[in-house]
Amino acid sequence: MTKVNYENFIDLNYTPKNTDVICQFKITPAKGYDFREVCSITAGESSVGTWTDISTVNKKMQKKIAPKVYYLDKGNLRCRIAYPIELFELGNLSGVLSSIGGNIYGMNSVNGLLWEDIKIPEKMLKSFRGPKFGIPGIRKYLKVYDRPLVGTIVKPKVGLTCDIVKDDENLTSQSFNNFYKRITLTLEAMRKAEKETGEKKAYLANCTAPVDEMIKRIKFVEKNNGNYIMLDILTLGWSALQKAREVTNVPIHAHRAGHAMFDRTPNHGMKMEVIAQFARMVGVDSLHIGTAYGKMAGGKDEVMHIEKEMEGKFTKQTKENLSQRWFGIKPVFGAASGGVYPGITDKIIEFMGKDVILQAGGGIHGHPDGTIAGAKAMRQAVNAVLKGIPLKEYAKTNLELKKSIEKWG
């Protein structure tokens, strides 16, 4: 079979412009293909290249907007490609992904293609809204400035001492749990908890639905004095998320349900770091990023890098990652979730710092004395860490934490 003919997009002397969109890929060539060749094919197929010469192509324009493979690391199968910003429609993330993350994944020249990182230029970043509230806005609303936030998931009871309660990612509007009834009842419980504790609370209502219905649900939450919404951003879709950011007046919590379809395979797909950067650019205010200690996959290095991208103003370039400057776009709260319980709170805070949402489901609801005791145990664990007291020592005078540690460690 004759191989496709691509213009050579490799220029190792090229210095990327400040306006270029830079992507880092790990590329495993298919049998019969050379690494350098496949990097060139990847650049071409994700932009202006095609499988044969075409007489109608404007060669001058093609050369002007052609991407450049400017960095090759054959030992690690890694390359970096600089795409001129003119290739993309600004403010349209679906369009960007259709180019960079489109046909190249189906090419027979690759056995594996992993999109590892992206450097987004200022012009593209500012064509999106970014977070409306971010970490500063959420802390200001809840009046919690010096500790991690504690959250749980909607179950039959609501923990009074949690800052945040959220819907499960698969809880939308089933026959046994109507969205509108659930919102009404849970917001009533939230206001009751606020009255009893004297603390501000937030309820993250899952508004994931077809776009028109999603907007209807968002507006229902706001009309009933709800203060936070949640969206399953990957199953919902990027364009729908952009629309949600456009219409909502409350913070958006992003659940990453489905992310492992993209990032679980080590040599193919899209790393969570890239998904997280897009989420911040579009405008979520908090995002599940993993824990490195719970039940979900994702190592410490990965979680740490994601957190830096979500919170930082600037991340430096390394051999493994690209740099990124955020040009004033607000930082996003990372949510540690999946197997979180009081006994690992000290490890999570030591690793992730205070700007984290400790999102515990079973770790609260599974407490021997029930949900409220579980929520108290989580808050007690946070207090212990902030005071510098070992959890087991603090548990001696805090019964809820003591029983939690006895059950889970």
Q: What is the pLDDT of residues 59-101, one digit of tens each?
A: 555 567 889 999 999 999 999 999 999 999 999 999 999 999 9
Residue of 132, 155, 157, 200 with catalytic role: 155
Rounded to the nearest 10°, the torsion over CA 215, 361, 198, 289 is: -60
Q: What is the mean pLDDT of the segment spanning 180-197?
A: 94
For the chain, domain boundaries = 21-125, 134-408
Tally of residues, the chain: 409
Torsion angles phi and psi, residue 393, rounded to 5: -70, -45
Closest CA to 43 of 66, 11, 16: 66
What is the pLDDT at residue 208? 98
pLDDT digits (tens, 9 = 90+) for 198-210: 999 999 999 999 9
What is the pLDDT at residue 63? 64
DSSP letters spanning 4-45: P-----B-TT----TT-EEEEEEEEEPTT--HHHHHHHHHHH
- Distances in Å between the Cα of 99 and the Cα atoms of 35, 81, 89, 181, 376 are 21, 13, 11, 42, 49
DSSP state of 399: H
| pTM for this entry | 0.92
Task: Please report which confidence band the pLDDT of residue 339 belongs to, taking 50, 70 and 90 as the band edges.
Answer: confident
365 is catalytic: no
What is the pLDDT at residue 155? 53
What is the pLDDT at residue 7? 59
- Distances in Å between the Cα of 328 and the Cα atoms of 131, 185, 253, 345, 354 are 11, 38, 20, 31, 21
What is the pLDDT at residue 361? 86
Q: Are strands 78-83 and 21-29 parallel, antiparallel or unpaired?
A: antiparallel
Residue of 119, 201, 253, 255 with catalytic role: 255
Distance CA 395, CA 380 (A): 8
DSSP letters spanning 108-131: TTEEEEEEEEEE--HHHHTTS---
243 is catalytic: no
What is the pLDDT at residue 157? 39
What is the pLDDT at residue 162? 86
> Is residue 149 over pLDDT 60?
yes
What is the pLDDT at residue 105? 92
- Distances in Å between the Cα of 217 and the Cα atoms of 181, 182, 189, 243, 273 are 12, 12, 19, 13, 29
> Is residue 56 over pLDDT 80?
no
Task: Please report which confidence band the pLDDT of residue 294 belongs to, taking 50, 70 and 90 as the band edges.
Answer: low
Q: What is the mean pLDDT of the segment spanning 380-385?
A: 96
> Is residue 8 over pLDDT 50?
yes
Across the chain, what does the average pLDDT equal?
A: 91
Torsion angles phi and psi, residue 87, rounded to 5: -70, -15
Closest CA to 217 of 255, 281, 171: 171
- 4 or 393: whose pLDDT is higher? 393
**CATH 3.20.20.110 is right for the domain spanning 134-408:** yes
Mean pLDDT is highest, among 31-45, 46-60, 131-145, for 131-145
Ranges 19-28, 95-104, 115-124: which has the least confidence = 95-104
Domains 21-125 and 134-408 in one fold:
no
- Distances in Å between the Cα of 24 and the Cα atoms of 31, 149, 165 are 22, 34, 37
* Assigned CATH for 21-125: 3.30.70.150
Distance CA 194, CA 200 (A): 6
Q: What is the mean pLDDT of the segment spanning 229-250?
A: 98
Ranges 171-185, 224-238, 298-312, 314-328: which has the least confidence = 298-312
Distance CA 293, CA 345 (A): 10
